[in-house]
Structure 1
Amino acid sequence: MAVCTRHPRYAALVAAALLTALFLLAPRHPPPGALRAPLDPALPARVARANAIYDKMLVAREGLIKKFGPTPKAVELFPPDVPPWPPYTVWDFFPAAYNCPHEVERLGALGDGGKWVCGLSRVAQKADCVVYSFGINLESSFEAEILAGTAHCAVYGYDFSVKSFGPEIPPAQVHRTHFHAVGLAGEDKGGEGDDPKMYTLETLMRQNGHAHIDILKIDIEGWEFETLTTLLRPYAQSGRALPFGQLQLEIHIWDKTFAGFLEWWEMLEAAGLRPFWTEVRLFFYYVLSPYSFLNVRGNNIFISDVFLSGQS
């Protein structure tokens, strides 16, 4: 006490030094939504390798079109099954050639209903994990496994043909789900006389106060072409990152031409989407196929360790 009284400047310096030491030694807490898993120094190399593999496939696609075309307009979705036996189907031109840089697992029921997901472990402890699911049809095994495999993910379900999620959602997890009996479309149709009510993804995200979706599932029976064209085209043209990390999409191709489908698919690629898994549903005569895509643009949690809440 005597030293402090006689030398006030010295006492002030000592106090400042102690406060600085306490600040530097204090434990750091990541901001809400930050990646809590240890940093993965090998992740950038795996992502770069996956990009190189996919670029190689793009060159091969051009060669296949020239072989069976030689232009996209001359390529058929499904050549007639007459001699010589058809050498391809449309799906051969669009392989899921991107390498997910994490574990891949099928979530949900085997057969119709389940989806392939890349890196669920990356969002398992993410405090602000958000999942959107369009197309419920009273079967929610996919959504139930998302809830079971994560600590904080909130699941938002949309389907105007039903009134709730399916029975697979356990009562203990209902508080993490939000269901709305509306549909996804390329434009808003939510007026008093609109039945069913339809909204764009941008509108629904704004209503929920979300800037980013971690996992987006869309199964809307053919309307994915119009809906995703409206959603993705501005991002494909501007180079901005999409507001979601990955997409599980069921594609219904029954009324398309090869040239039209190729143009639509290339728009998905221009927006930053890369397919990492697919299944061909043979019981529907090849006309639909579920694909899983990663968004390779921006800093989402599946391709970057620097992801923070609100970034895309």
Structure 2
Amino acid sequence: MASVLRNPRNAIILFALVAGALYLYTSSSSAADRPFGFIDETLPARVGNAERIYQKTVSGRQGLIQKFGPEPSDIAMFPADKDPWPPYTAWDFFPPSFNCPHERERLGSLGDGGKWVCGLSRVEDKPDCIVYSFGINGESSFEAEIFERTKYCQIWGYDFSVRSFGPELPTYSSRTHFKAWGLSGSNSHGPKDTPKMYTLQSLMDLNGHKHIDILKIDVESWEFDVLKSFVQPYIDAGKPLPFGQLQIELHMWQKKFVEMLAFFEMLEEAGLRPFMQEPNLVYNNYNKGGDQDLSEYSFINIKGDNVFIKDRAVSNVHSSRPPPSD
């Protein structure tokens, strides 16, 4: 090779060939103009491909409703007998078929406490990283792993049933903040209100946050009121939700399929896509013979400029002031 390159003409030809190949691979964003075999691995392409796959699931859901309905009001959540056949549960209509465009991993302890996250690497060095966690219940292995693996993430925890984060998370750090407050669909935090209840929007306003990177919600069936009151105004205003992803336990106690369907369709309209589901098998084991009505879901938000879908996210503005007092 060295002897060939000693000839200036040969070197020029080789350079031209390499430059031409690079140009063909990088100059066009249209798949039709790319060389045969080219695979677009950019983040927008991965998100777009995952969305195309997910829309197949949405279409399939409508077919499943027709099969077992034909109307949503005809669908039973958890049929108790063998009719219809093949059997189904309500969870079968909402599989987590959106492909996480980054590494997908379970943070926190195995069993109860851990949550599935898409792309923690995207916030490892993010200077304005914000994490909200609702529902601590004395166990903070999920929050602790985020704390340990990120440099700057500020973690805000809320749970009126306990007095602090669980023992896994250091409470002395300037990056952890806890309040024994509850999350609700409406505010109730007057002088005589115990416990104090806040909407998600109210807490963001109190803390001076415009965006949340990771939002965990486990509030024992209050999630429906909480998210409806928070999400619907953003849909009505045509604005993207101000968080990047959502880890949530859904409690389908006393819910009907039409309610579950409306809830998921609201989340989907807002841009949330499920990339992981984990049934609460501990609860289901204790609930032998009953409905399998608790399940963990993880969603990624495909709208807006959050760091999980855009290589250059809009800067998340948050205040450096201390947490609000009681």
Change beyond 3 A, Cα 1:197–1:86: farther
Give the Cα separation in 1 of the matches to 2:207 and 2:139.
Answer: 23
Query: Post-superposition shift, 1:309?
Result: 1.3
1:305 aligns with 2:318: no
Q: Specify every segment of 5 or more residues in structure 2 that has no aligned partner in the other structure, as ranges.
A: 1-39, 285-291, 318-326
Q: What does residue 251 of structure 1 align with? A: 250
**Shift in Å, 1:238:** 2.6
Give the secondary structure class of the aligned counterpart of 1:174: coil
CA distance in 1, matches of 2:261, 2:137: 29
Secondary structure of the structure 2 residue equivalent to 1:100: coil
The reply on whether 1:79 has 2:79 as its aligned counterpart is yes
Q: What secondary structure sits across from 2:174 in the alignment?
A: helix
Which structure exhibits the higher relative contact order, with contacts defined as CA atoms closer than 8 Å and separated by 6 or more residues? 1
Residue 262 (structure 2) pairs with residue 263 (structure 1): yes
Residue 186 of structure 2 aligns to a residue in which SS?
A: coil
TM-score (norm 1): 0.84
- Listed as ranges, the matches of 1:216-295 within 5 Å are 216-285=215-284, 286-295=292-301
In structure 2, C-alpha distance between the alignment counterparts of 1:47 and 1:112, rounded to whole Å: 30
Report Cα offsets for 1:137-161 as digits up to 9, x if no partner. Answer: 1100000000111111010000001
The answer for the alignment partner of 1:155 in structure 2 is 155
Contact 2:128/2:316, CA 8 A, preserved across alignment: no
- Structure 2 partner of 1:36: none
Task: Give per-residue Cα distances to partners, 1:266-308, cap 9 Å, x unaligned.
Answer: 1111111110001112343321000000011111000001212
The 8 Å contact of residues 103 and 118 in structure 2, kept in 1 or not, is answered as: yes
Tell me, yes or no, if the aligned pair for 2:65 and 2:71 is still in contact at 8 Å.
Answer: yes
TM, length-normalised to structure 2: 0.80
Asked whether the equivalents of residues 156 and 179 of structure 1 are also in contact (C-alpha less than 8 Å), the reply is yes
Q: Distance in 2 between matches of 1:180 and 1:191?
A: 15
Q: Is the 8 A contact 1:105 1:116 kept in 2?
A: yes
1:180 is the counterpart of 2:186? no
Q: 1: distance between equivalents of 2:189 and 2:73?
A: 38
Cα offsets for 1:36-62 (capped at 9, x unmatched): xxxx97101101101101111110000
Match for 1:165: what amino acid? F
1:209-268 deviation per Cα after TM superposition (whole angstroms, max 9, x unaligned): 111000000000000011111001112223211010000000000110001110111111
The percentage of counterpart residues that share the same residue type is 60
Which runs of no fewer than 5 residues in structure 1 stay unpaired?
1-39
Paired positions, count:
271
Tell me if structure 1 keeps the 8 A contact 2:97–2:275.
yes
- The aligned residue for residue 131 of structure 1 is 131
**1:183-227 per-position Cα deviation (integer Å, ceiling 9, x unaligned):** 111111110111110001111111111110000000000000111
Relative distance call for 1:163 and 1:113 in structure 2 (3 A) is same
